[in-house]
Amino acid sequence: MNDELARLQQFLSGRIWPAGKLPFDESVIAKAKERQLIDDVQAIEFLKGKPSCRRCRCASFDTYIRYYCAKCDKICVYCRNCIQMGRLASCDTLVRWIGATATTDVKPKLQWQGQFTAAQARVSQELIDSVRAKRSHLVHAVCGAGKTEILFAAIEIALSMNWRVCVATPRTDVVLELAPRFQQVFPDVTVQALYGGAPLATSYSPFIVATTHQLFRFEDAFDIIFVDEADAFPYTFDVALQQAVVKARKQDGVTMLVTATPSINMQAQFQKTGAYSFIPRRFHGADLPVPRFASLWFYDKQLQMNRLPKKIARWIKNCEDKGQPYLLFFPTIALMKQAAHLFSVPAVYAEDAERKEKVLALRNGEVAGLLTTTILERGITIPRVQVAVIGAESAIFTASALIQISGRVGRAQHEPTGDIVFFHHGVTREMDAAKREILRLNAEVN
């Protein structure tokens, strides 16, 4: 195989890519086709008359839109579910690599000298056993349980067997946080981080960290997929992610699922085979911070009248005096935007284009704190962060959301405690349930 074809092989192995959008010359693609190294598949297939997108396999009928196509001069169908990766219609094709797949002979050495707690060491070994037996495994871990480190040894063994490894998570922020950590402990392999807007590397990598959406660009690619959704919300196994994992995994591949809340069914199923691990506590062995409730009557009226409630002002001052970064959660974007001018720190919300930069600024200590809506509740680690929830009685703050928010606090090993306060206009059942669950998790014997 010549160099150009080898480069195409590196890029396209395990991938399924829109024809005409490949970062390669037409001549290279033609040559590969001629040698039967690649083939074309229809982007939208019709299975028993029902459209099905070959990239995202979305099963919802509403996803598929019929339109009069000027290119074909007939009715065509396109998929809306994965349209942000470039629209696919029934008249488009996807390219697959069908020749021998790329490999690497790098034998990665794990460069990590951290200390495990007894629970971590046990789970790490259980994972290794499952990798060796090539069986799927369920890790039940509470937020902040030091779950990333637990994967290290299992990943090292998988890579050393020349397996292709993927760590998948629903969120871009988590990819951005995890990829550099993996790269640091596996300096001999190139860890590819894939998320919307990431630069496109054309080289082959045996180790990919990707968002759910980016996983859709693979088919039959991975021997092992670690699904990290311990910080996902709501507490259900994401259907889209599930589909993406099944599609991206090889026929005989396995899934290692790390989650905070497995369903009873799932637990029972994995417990039967012994491929089940549970870590009840945080990696530093300290308890999860227990939220405290503080009344803040008519806070919305006060904010709307441009008054910053004294309790909030005092709480902020306390954080700033101690040099601790803080997060203030608001129930709605509207209220947050309205009140933003009362605070000296930036506000961040879901559609915020500068979201990434603002979170980074907080982590780097360039800003003292952030105002945020519930978007920041998952997967964000900011050392020493203190958290206040304004209007904790609002419907959006369900028990699981409040548990996740509380989980932001006290994640650093050298400072495992912190303040988590629910400012409220009346205590709700959800607030009580959140506090009860955290106390229960703390009481679980390791």
Residues that bind other proteins (CB under 8 A): 62, 65, 67-71, 76, 78, 80, 83-84, 87, 89, 91
The rounded distance, in Å, linking the Cα atoms of 171 and 297 is 35
Task: Return the number of other C-beta atoms located less than 10 Å from residue 103's C-beta.
Answer: 13
- Shortest Å, Cβ 38 to other proteins: 24
Collapsing DSSP states into helix, strand and coil, what is residue 45? strand
The distance from CA 205 to its chain's CA centroid, rounded to whole angstroms, is 20
Q: What is the 3-state secondary structure (H, E, C) of 307-373?
A: CCCHHHHHHHHHHHHHCCCEEEECCCHHHHHHHHHHCCCCEECCCCCCHHHHHHHHHCCCCCEEEEC
- Shortest Å, Cβ 96 to Zn ion: 16
All residues at 6 or more sequence positions from 300 whose CB lies less than 8 Å from its CB, including other chains: 335, 391, 425
Contact between 441 and Zn ion by CB under 5 A: the answer reads no
* Minimum CB distance to other proteins smaller for 20 or for 187: 20
- Residue 67 interacting partner from Zn ion, other proteins, none (CB closer than 5 to 8 Å by kind): other proteins
* Minimum CB distance to Zn ion smaller for 78 or for 326: 78
- Residue 56 interacting partner from Zn ion, other proteins, none (CB closer than 5 to 8 Å by kind): Zn ion
Of 16, 37, 82, 209, which lies in the binding site for Zn ion, with binding defined by CB under 5 A? 82
Stretch that binds Zn ion, among 19-27, 49-57, 274-282, 332-340 (CB under 5 A): 49-57
The rounded distance, in Å, linking the Cα atoms of 265 and 267 is 5
The size of the interface with Zn ion (CB under 5 A), counted in residues, is 11
Collapsing DSSP states into helix, strand and coil, what is residue 42? strand
Contact between 91 and Zn ion by CB under 5 A: the answer reads yes
- Residue 65 interacting partner from other proteins, Zn ion, none (CB closer than 5 to 8 Å by kind): other proteins
* Minimum CB distance to other proteins smaller for 62 or for 321: 62
Q: Which two tokens stand for residue 114?
A: 């951290």
* Minimum CB distance to Zn ion smaller for 75 or for 161: 75
* Minimum CB distance to other proteins smaller for 124 or for 394: 394
Closest by CA to 421, choosing from 436, 440, 410, 406, is: 406
Which residues of this protein are in contact with Zn ion, per CB under 5 A? 53, 55-56, 69, 71-72, 76, 79, 81-82, 91
